[in-house]
Structure 1
Amino acid sequence: MQFLRTPDARFDALADYSFAPNYRMVPDTQGGQLRMHYVDEGPELADPVLMLHGEPSWSYLYRHMIPIFAKAGHRAIAPDLIGFGKSDKPMDRADYTYQRHVMWMNDWLAQMDLQNITLVCQDWGGLIGLRLVALSPSRFARVVVANTALPTGDHPMGEAFLAWRRYSQEVETFDAGRIVNGGTTTKLTPAEIAAYNAPYPDASYQAGARQFPMLVPTAPDDPAAEPNRQAWGRLMDLDIPFVTLFGADDKIMAGVERVFQKLLPGTAGQDHAVLAGAGHFLQEDVGPDLAQRTLAFMAKD
């Protein structure tokens, strides 16, 4: 598997992102290994808050939340998915599959041996993160479901998602920063837009970001459809607490929170919220509020 590694200089002097880099090697399924980056702040022995990003962002998305969790005495961990951020980026789009993303993250999680995890997952962070919960439920204490889904292809995805998918494949220049900016209500500064583009010196680094929208299962016979159905079955048998915190201005995920609330027993009695002034990337719009609501959720135990 051929891959690229973004030069470190691309990440110099990013605003509000001075976290020390950490790396683990994960198998690439073809006999080699890929380097995965993650932020790891706060006390090493404290219970972890695991924050998973989605498309086309990276751990920079959680820069305003990481210090809040660390200051509260928790271990704040935010990986970059393979193909994103400071992690290695396979060059062939065919190297990216839903199952490989799950396995890469599951291998990293096993190496880290995290326990009593509070998972915060948004966008693809949920499509992958919820699969991790289904695979290793004993590792997870609770889950914050934020602007995400676990699609099985059995129901239409909606025109907003289909429009995004068409755009992601047809746009000549895939500008990650402007895409993230388009999914916020508060709008990013030029420096923040540049930070989201930092992982991609040129288009050859963007195979993962380009491929992600095509990996969402939209038909019942999609390769990921049955594994997701099985994951739903496991999640529905768990008593792990789940809380949904969605953005009121997220057009793609509007209403999906009700699916989780209906199907997962762990959502009963939780302080679910649809957050005003928050778009798809609610970490940008209401990051500190999202962090505080997560801390309140953790304190309910």
Structure 2
Amino acid sequence: MDVLRTPDACFEGLADWSFAPHYTQVGGPDGANLRVAYVDEGPRDGAPVLLMHGEPTWSYLYRHIIPQLVAKGHRVLAPDLVGFGRSDKPAARTDYTYERHVDWMSQWFVGLDLKDLVLFCQDWGGLIGLRLVAAFPERFAGVIAGNTGLPVGTGLTPGFDAWLKMSQTIPVMPIGGIINMGTTRELSPEEVAAYDAPFPDETFKEGARQFPALVPVTAEHASVAENQAAWKVLEAFDKPFLTAFSDNDPITKGGEAGFKDKVPGAQGEAHTILSGGHFLQEDCPAAIADLLDDMVRRTR
């Protein structure tokens, strides 16, 4: 496995980004070691909150949420998925599979011995994060899911179909521009540049290219059986499970219904629809921070 690593210089002077990186190693195929980067802010004995990003973002997505939670006394962890942010980037698209991503983040998660977590997950942060919940339900105190899902091969929305086709055919993938298209507010040029920062050229974007094709939207996709098994665990998960989808996301609109119907912990929760696009962390960070703070306090 050939692995690329974005130079540290690419992350210097990013807008509203002052968090020190932390690193750990996870094992890959053929004995390869991959560096996973993550933010770890707040008191070590604070209630832990796990923030998981998706495609094609990185932990920068949570820059306005992290300090609000730290100010409330919580420990906040935000990893960069392999292929994104400061984490290492396998150079070949075939190096990226759904199950490898789950394994890589499971290694990171268990290696830090994280427990009693409240999770916020969006996009692929949910496809991977909810698999962590299913694998280690005893380690989670609660979950907030926004604009995400756990597909089992039953089809795709028109919005996702359009995104899939674009992601596989566009010659140059404008990462920051894609994120700007998925928000209701206009990102500044500096913010767009920060989303571009992990990808000095197209060779660094193989994970971003591959992720849309890995979503198990048909029965023939890999990971359908694994997600079905994960749903069995979630259908017995009785800890607080809140949905906080946005009102302007054509990709996941309506996706909260499955969680509300099937997850016992979702019963009686004050589910909400937030104002924002697909990347709702950019549009309503204060509302997300308040929801997380409330869940932490209810579960401690």
* Same-fold status (TM-score > 0.5): yes
1:300: Cα distance to partner? 2.6
CA contact (8 A) 2:5 2:89 kept: yes
TM (norm. structure 1) is 0.98
- CA–CA distance in 1 between the matches of 2:27 and 2:40? 21
Tell me the equivalent position of 2:98: 98
Point out the more displaced range, 194-203 or 287-296. 287-296
Q: Deviations over 1:210-264 (max 9, x none)?
A: 0000000021132210000000001101212100001100111100011110111
Tell me the equivalent position of 2:259: 260
Q: Deviations over 1:82-129 (max 9, x none)?
A: 000000000000000000000000000011000100001000000000
1:157: Cα distance to partner? 1.0
- CA–CA distance in 2 between the matches of 1:51 and 1:176? 20
Count of equivalent residues: 299
In the alignment, structure 1 segments of 5+ residues that lack a partner are: none
Structure 2 residue 108 is matched with structure 1 residue 108: yes
Tell me the equivalent position of 2:11: 11
Tell me the equivalent position of 1:70: 70
Tell me the equivalent position of 2:292: 294
Tell me the equivalent position of 1:275: 274
In the alignment, structure 2 segments of 5+ residues that lack a partner are: none
1:299: Cα distance to partner? 2.3
CA contact (8 A) 2:118 2:295 kept: no
CA contact (8 A) 2:46 2:74 kept: yes
SS of structure 2 residue aligned to 1:51? strand
Tell me the equivalent position of 2:214: 215
CA contact (8 A) 1:47 1:115 kept: no
Q: Deviations over 1:13-64 (max 9, x none)?
A: 1111110110000001221200000000000122210000000000000000
Paired letter, 1:61:
L
Tell me the equivalent position of 1:42: 42
1:298: Cα distance to partner? 2.3
Tell me the equivalent position of 1:60: 60
- CA–CA distance in 1 between the matches of 2:220 and 2:277? 31
- CA–CA distance in 2 between the matches of 1:119 and 1:296? 13
- CA–CA distance in 2 between the matches of 1:187 and 1:141? 35
1:187: Cα distance to partner? 1.5
TM (norm. structure 2) is 0.98
Question: For residues 17-32 of structure 1, what are the structure 2 equivalents within 5 Å?
Answer: 17-32=17-32
Tell me the equivalent position of 1:156: 155
SS of structure 2 residue aligned to 1:223? coil
SS of structure 1 residue aligned to 2:30? coil
Tell me the equivalent position of 1:33: 33
CA contact (8 A) 2:47 2:296 kept: no
- CA–CA distance in 2 between the matches of 1:292 and 1:220? 38
Tell me the equivalent position of 1:229: 228
Tell me the equivalent position of 2:87: 87
SS of structure 2 residue aligned to 1:300? helix
Paired letter, 2:90:
P
CA contact (8 A) 1:48 1:74 kept: yes
Q: Deviations over 1:187-220 (max 9, x none)?
A: 1000000000000000000000000000000211
1:159: Cα distance to partner? 1.1
Tell me the equivalent position of 1:204: 203
Structure 2 residue 171 is matched with structure 1 residue 172: yes
